[in-house]
A and B are shown apart, each in its own frame.
Chain A
């Protein structure tokens, strides 16, 4: 039996890796990958809480996060491609 604290630490590690990428990167695609990492960490946290509490709500939130991530990636990549065609760069530096 894995303790809940260890699952929380793993999700925190993935979330913090994504947060560091979000703060440090200047490329739009890399920032999107970092946001996906943060969403992934949050989804893993919900699964851990589902296993710990023994109810279904965390799994439903996991499915919701996956749907949000899929919709967000579709829109964000369209915006990134439009930005790339207009500015000929994917960098966010001024």
Chain B
């Protein structure tokens, strides 16, 4: 996966989990402020990432992500 492909994949995960249009999401989208602060959705997203691209994100770290770009950065660092 190159960076662009990874960004598209993570955005698709966010779109599905948070019930949003992928086209409305970007690397700068603020997760809590623009989408939801639901812990259930965040746990679901982390689980999806682990299941789909085999990258584990510790749940305490997941709560610290500000933007979708932060999630992509972390996943990219582990690929």
Partners in one complex: no
Contact residues of B with A, CB < 8 Å? none
Contact residues of A with B, CB < 8 Å? none
